[in-house]
Amino acid sequence: MRKPIPKYVRHKARNCGKVTIHGKTHYLPGEFNSEESKTAYGRLLAEYLTGQATPDTANVTLRYLSVQYMKYCREYYVDEGGKELNEVRQIRLSLKPLLAMFGSESAMDFGPRKLKHVRERIIDTGITRGVINDRIGRIIRMLRWGAAEEYVPASVVQACRELRNLQAGRCGDIPEQRDVKPVTLEQIEAVRGHLTSVLRGMVDLELLTGMRPQEVRNMTWGQIDRSDSEAWCYEPSRHKTKRRGKRRRIFIGPEGQRVLRQFLKADPDAFIFSPQDSEAERFANLRKNRTTPLTPSQKLRGKRARTRVVANQYNKDSLTSSLTLTSRHGFPWRMISASSS
């Protein structure tokens, strides 16, 4: 991955050039924009790009290391559209207790004993054993990156790797993650009648094809090959194993095709299942089923509500929220609370 190029800027008081590399500001000889100044800038830039200009490891704190690592993560953990993946947020959460306890300390003085103290801080939050191990793993991954960039001695990484993961059944009362079981067809049928046609179509298509929710959310007509009437072929532009160089093809039979034909659109790049369509249908149903007249204050609230912008594509959170809100009609609250306890 390309390193960001440090900028050549002017120091007004001295009328000279300056450049900041690895957090240290270098004031260049000669006047700003002079040949001498630009030559010095070019020399420092060459050392930086070839990896020869690295900060003294004794002066690299864990906070400085984390800042540099997060810059790397925000560029590395992105999808095809350049959007940050959830892994960036998970790394940030993992580093938070580390920086709260040892952020100002030198990274070269960090070791497995301090890492164990960080793990105890994470355990106190009450999260599950698997998540704790994942967060410690992310901290070690940052140290490994730091060693590759010569911010941290490799011995620090090797020592921290000696800290074993928390083992199932051998870590006291630390909670285990509960298995997430699939919903039954009876539960789906109880909710299905309360869904909008858009959400109902998404649920039906997942049942018929075995698609992942992300693949249904991202569907466009332009991604579906309809040359074979017996089985359409949908090839998602984004899927779970694309980064490993694998192709993902989903074949849609006659029943799935009947579901999709309800949502034919002229624009091949428009998302087939749009929250805008779903919300329009939901509000139309609310108006149709209303039994009492609108009051003036409710009319005013309605005008304000229409200014709310609805996205043209579901994301993970908005889809979960829509389905959760709808499921309240299919299941009594007493049943939901009893099953989750």
User: What pLDDT score does 228 carry?
Assistant: 92
Predicted model pTM: 0.65
Is 74 found in the same domain as 40? Answer: no
* 39 within domain boundaries: yes
Residue 203, pLDDT > 70, answer: yes
Average pLDDT for 312-326: 82
Residue 339, pLDDT > 50, answer: no
Is 333 found in the same domain as 192? Answer: yes
User: What pLDDT score does 63 carry?
Assistant: 93
Is 138 found in the same domain as 275? Answer: no
Q: 48 or 163: whose pLDDT is higher?
A: 163
* 172 within domain boundaries: no
Domain that holds residue 72: 59-161
* 180 within domain boundaries: no
pLDDT for 321-332, tens place per residue?
888 777 666 555
User: What pLDDT score does 118 carry?
Assistant: 96
User: What pLDDT score does 161 carry?
Assistant: 95
User: What pLDDT score does 72 carry?
Assistant: 93
Is 212 found in the same domain as 134? Answer: no
Is 17 found in the same domain as 76? Answer: no
* 176 within domain boundaries: no
User: What pLDDT score does 156 carry?
Assistant: 94
Is 263 found in the same domain as 117? Answer: no
Q: How many domains does the chain have?
A: 3
Q: Three-state secondary structure along the chain?
A: CCCCCCCCEEECCCCEEEEEECCEEEECCCCCCCHHHHHHHHHHHHHHHCCCCCCCHHHCEHHHHHHHHHHHHHHHCECCCCCECHHHHHHHHHHHHHHHHHCCCEHHHCCHHHHHHHHHHHHCCCCCHHHHHHHHHHHHHHHHHHHHCCCCCHHHHHHHHCCCCCCCCCCCCCCCCCCCCCCCHHHHHHHHCCCCHHHHHHHHHHHHHCCCHHHHHCCEHHHEECCCCCCEEECCCCCCCHHHCCCCCEEECHHHHHHHHCCCCCCCCCECCCHHHHHHHHHHHHHHCCCCCCCHHHHHHHHHHCCCCCCCCCCHHHHHHHHHHHHHHHCCHHHHHHHHC
* 222 within domain boundaries: yes
Residue 341, pLDDT > 50, answer: no
* 251 within domain boundaries: yes
Is 230 found in the same domain as 87? Answer: no
User: What pLDDT score does 306 carry?
Assistant: 56
Least confident of 163-177, 187-201, 299-313: 299-313
- Measure the CA–CA gap between 317 and 324, rounded to whole angstroms: 10
pLDDT for 179-199, tens place per residue?
888 888 888 888 888 889 999
User: What pLDDT score does 190 carry?
Assistant: 85
Is 212 found in the same domain as 249? Answer: yes
User: What pLDDT score does 330 carry?
Assistant: 58
User: What pLDDT score does 154 carry?
Assistant: 92
Is 70 found in the same domain as 35? Answer: no
Least confident of 40-49, 52-61, 153-162, 259-268: 52-61
Q: 90 or 214: whose pLDDT is higher?
A: 90
User: What pLDDT score does 92 carry?
Assistant: 96
* 289 within domain boundaries: yes
* 171 within domain boundaries: no
Least confident of 26-35, 157-166, 187-196: 187-196
Q: 303 or 188: whose pLDDT is higher?
A: 188
Is 259 found in the same domain as 209? Answer: yes
Is 270 found in the same domain as 293? Answer: yes
Is 202 found in the same domain as 329? Answer: yes
pLDDT for 243-298, tens place per residue?
777 888 999 999 999 999 999 988 999 999 999 888 888 888 888 888 888 777 77
For residue 120, the domain's CATH number is 1.10.150
Average pLDDT for 71-78: 92
